[in-house]
Amino acid sequence: MSDGTDEIRFYRASERPFGVFSNLFRREMEFCARKFPTAEHAYQFGKPRKAEVREWLMEAPSPSLLAMAAHGLYSWDIVPGWSRNRFDRMLAVVTTKFRQHDDLAQLLLSTGSARIVEAATIDNEVNRRWGEVNGKGQNWLGQILMRVRQELGAR
């Protein structure tokens, strides 16, 4: 499906066809013995220190509001070591998402060797960590997607 370009950019879950790469894309998944409506839910569930805060986040009316609320947690509400462990948690969540849904895995594999970039539009630290804004950022989500693609292709 890759159109021969060296890069595939996505951001919004509603974009076709690559919006499915967004963690906000609504596709139920099971992670750590619990069902979640999106990968964002599965990821953010691991962030709060207290169970009542985790459950409160899970009740957010949309995945984007969940993300916004989770990004706004105070440091004392976040599990110790989160900044060290968040990449590995996201890797586990994204791997699980694509292993549980063959249609999503096939789309990811169809990108070939293209560089995958979460191309955010608002310039902030979170968007520059997980993606890129105006070509600048660490693009952790893109790196994870390319790693999952490589692992799926090796099966």
* Residue owning tokens 């609320």: 69
Flag whether 2 is in a domain: no
**Which residue segment(s) compose the domain that 133 sits in?**
7-153
pLDDT at 155 over 80: no
pLDDT at 136 > cutoff 80: yes
| 108 within some domain | yes
Residue 129 to residue 136: CA distance in whole angstroms: 9
List beta partners, residue 36: 29
CA dihedral of 121, 81, 68, 95, whole degrees rounded to 10: 70
Residue 4 has pLDDT above 80, yes or no: no
Q: What is the CATH number of the domain that holds 38?
A: 1.10.357.40
- pLDDT 10s digits, 53-106: 999 999 999 999 999 999 999 999 999 999 999 999 999 999 999 999 999 999
Is the residue at 71 inside a domain? yes
128 in a structural domain: yes
Q: How confident is the model at residue 2 (pLDDT cuts 50, 70, 90)?
A: very low
Does some domain include residue 89? yes
CB 19 within 8 Å of CB 25: yes
pTM of the model: 0.93
Look at residue 46 and tell me if it is in a domain: yes
83 assigned to some structural domain: yes
Domain count, the chain: 1
pLDDT tier for residue 5 given thresholds of 50, 70 and 90 = low
